[in-house]
Structure 1
Amino acid sequence: MATIRKRNGKYQVQVRLQGSAPMSKTFTRLEDAKAWARLTELEAEQIGLPADPRLLAKITVGEMLQRYRDEVVPKKRGAEYETIMVNAMLRHPWAKRSLAHIEGATFAEHRDARLRTVLPCTVKRELAMLQHAFDVAIKDWSIPLRANPIKAISKPGGAKKRDRRLVKGELARLFRTAKQCKGDHMRALILLAIETGMRQGELLAAKWSHINLAARHWFIPLTKNGESRTIPLTRRCVRTLRILKKVAGDAKGVFDLTREAVKCSWRRIIKRSGIEDLNFHDLRHEAISRFFERGLSVPEVSLISGHKDARMLFRYTHMTAAHVLAKLG
């Protein structure tokens, strides 16, 4: 990797690494030349040499992200959302810059600009995806970047955990407004979210083959934490699912809805109902809080919700203070 040549009474050292720009230095003493060569070779083995700008100049950030979108994203569970995220990033000016002229400061500016329009948790997710894209480019595609530029910048802190509960009358207003949507799928989706505590993605991915109405069990093969779970169904769930089954006919999926369709319908429902500051995911918080209010234990709620760490459920316990007070008398 290192070569030493004697020229004009001095020793010139050159260290080369494929895909990187060569490094060279001249010394008057041979011992100093050998020592620098050993240290530089060691550094090259650990972190690599500076990337060759001629190679990086041929690839833009956008081209790297397009390859990531087409080859890596489809294998991920959040493929639909991440595809939208990558396509949005491709519209930014920095996507047209070559990898030879990209650095952490570029994405620090992007981070600050995004924080003025979206929540910190959204920016954190975007940066995490970008960081993974650069990791894949370096490790799997042998793109000779010396370091991941996203790792060099600070990430925004997570947003405060939401604890939004439905107040009296809001659920009825949701149901009334959801009836105005085409078909009855949104009303059923809201009801099942409240009754089961399932995530929106879990509900939309559900197949009729996963549901045993006679045994009142719903099997969820793929969850956020990577493990499957089986949840019990209330009688209200079973009645709703029987109605959906009659309408579904031979369809394999429980819901013929996409995430984008649910997103648009939810916005219309919230606007027409006059309810403020309510996200669809808040229904999961409402459901889990209601489980505790019904007297279910932490292990029982964990079985339904899929939380692997019981400590994650502690944020729901403050919702039951009134019930505890009633028991104390």
Structure 2
Amino acid sequence: MDAGVFVSRSEAEATSFASALELYAKEVTSKKRSSVSELSRIQAMQRHPLALRSLASIRGSDIATYRDKRLRDGLAPSTVRRELALISHVFTIARKEWRMESLSNPVELIRQPSVDDARERRVLSADVWTQNDGKLVCVHLDELEMIRRHSRSIELPKIMTFAVETAMRRSEITGLQSNNVNLDKRVALLPLTKNGSSRGVPLSSTAVDILKNLAERDDGRCFRSRPDSITKAFADAIADARKAYTEGLFLHLKQKKISQDKIDKRIEADPFLIDLRFHDLRHEATSRLAEIFPLHELTKITGHQDTRMLMRYYHPKTEDLAKKLT
């Protein structure tokens, strides 16, 4: 103490993790754009037994136990990493701004769960069998057209097409304001995107036609749908489309006198309309745009900070690359 190097641990020992989370939510989370999702995460952590412990008593082994338990509970590694990042920042703020200099950050002492969430899902095409006047008719369709045909939402087909034409995120589409669209110049301005910067998106003729034919709204937004409603409408449309597809395929295979066991295996193994998410439309759009624009221009359209991140979304078909070779 005489030398001035003593650091008191009393405040860290008297502050519970739950109290620190509450203060963090008030001072830090409330100022974030993603405050709603982070507040939900904080509330869940406050119900965990670890929340009753003082900050000073939490060790790396405690966080490692927490990590392993969350993974055993079935949470995705990326979700657990976000939770650990939140815990880590709570300790950092406590040490730097709440006069708890004696605290060490227990998250820095453990391994992070490995995450491999890069997706290569592209839109598939297939022979779709449908009944027409009692006869089976075959039409070759891709998944997007199949989903459009079975959408219960009037607006979803337009939003799907717009997503594939622009590579815009779901939240960017639903938040697009009509006063930020210049149809003459074919440009849509996104003032604030996921990475915190603005971005201009060039509009194709198809995208322009969609915007021209939308009804004007009092709130200034181009589209009526909200992000959650798009996700639900997309999932419902996929379920209905998959059901129609498998029913037609079943009748077609039955006509060929294939055994029931083989039919079941064939349908179960068919990837058409399986594991397709709305965000995959951004993947599809990026891959299509990559055939037109070089990567350095593509980053300006999609909003990726560098080409390394863009490569997670850019998945050209190998056979298409082979065609470019002489």
Match of 1:14 in 2: none
How do residues 21-40 of structure 1 correspond to structure 2 at under 5 angstroms?
none
Match of 1:134 in 2: 91
Aligned length: 279
Does 1:188 find its partner at 2:166? no
Q: Structure 1 pair 110/289, CA: closer, same or farther in 2 (3 Å)? A: same
Match of 1:312 in 2: 309
The aligned amino acid for 1:101 is S
Q: TM-score, normalised by structure 1?
A: 0.75
Q: List structure 1 segments (4+ residues) > 6 angstroms apart after TM superposition.
A: none
Percent of residue pairs bearing the same amino acid type: 36
Cα distance between partner residues in 2 of 1:50 and 1:303: 50
Q: Structure 1 pair 318/163, CA: closer, same or farther in 2 (3 Å)? A: closer
Does 1:253 find its partner at 2:253? no
Q: Structure 1 pair 239/83, CA: closer, same or farther in 2 (3 Å)? A: farther
Q: Name which of 281, 288, 312 aligns with 1:283.
A: 281
Does 1:205 find its partner at 2:175? yes
Q: Structure 1 pair 133/296, CA: closer, same or farther in 2 (3 Å)? A: same
Q: Deviations over 1:113-155 (max 9, x none)?
A: 2223122122112211221122122212224552122222211
Cα distance between partner residues in 1 of 2:281 and 2:160: 8
Cα distance between partner residues in 1 of 2:231 and 2:70: 21
Q: Retained in 2: the 8 A contact 1:292–1:320? A: no
Q: Name which of 99, 102, 106 aligns with 2:58.
A: 102
Does 1:214 find its partner at 2:187? no
How do residues 68-217 of structure 1 correspond to structure 2 at under 5 angstroms?
68-116=24-72, 117-143=74-100, 145-168=102-125, 169-177=142-150, 179-181=151-153, 184-217=154-187
Q: Deviations over 1:85-127 (max 9, x none)?
A: 2223223222233324322222211211222312212211221
Q: Which structure would you say has the larger RCO, counting Cα contacts within 8 Å and 6 or more residues apart?
A: 2
Cα distance between partner residues in 2 of 1:145 and 1:199: 43
Q: Retained in 1: the 8 A contact 2:63–2:107? A: yes
Cα distance between partner residues in 1 of 2:156 and 2:25: 30
Q: Retained in 1: the 8 A contact 2:283–2:315? A: no
Cα distance between partner residues in 1 of 2:223 and 2:60: 43
Cα distance between partner residues in 1 of 2:100 and 2:155: 47
Match of 2:262 in 1: none
> What is the Cα deviation at residue 75 of structure 1?
1.9
Cα distance between partner residues in 1 of 2:177 and 2:100: 41
The aligned amino acid for 2:275 is D
Match of 2:21 in 1: 65
**Rg larger in structure:** 1
Match of 2:195 in 1: 225
Cα distance between partner residues in 2 of 1:63 and 1:189: 43
Structure 2 residue runs without a partner (length 5+):
126-141, 243-272
The aligned amino acid for 2:45 is M
The SS at the match of 1:136 is: helix
> What is the Cα deviation at residue 259 of structure 1?
3.8
Structure 1 residue runs without a partner (length 5+):
3-37
Q: TM-score, normalised by structure 2?
A: 0.76
The aligned amino acid for 2:287 is S
Q: Retained in 1: the 8 A contact 2:16–2:55? A: yes
Cα distance between partner residues in 1 of 2:44 and 2:225: 23
The SS at the match of 2:208 is: helix
> What is the Cα deviation at residue 302 of structure 1?
1.8
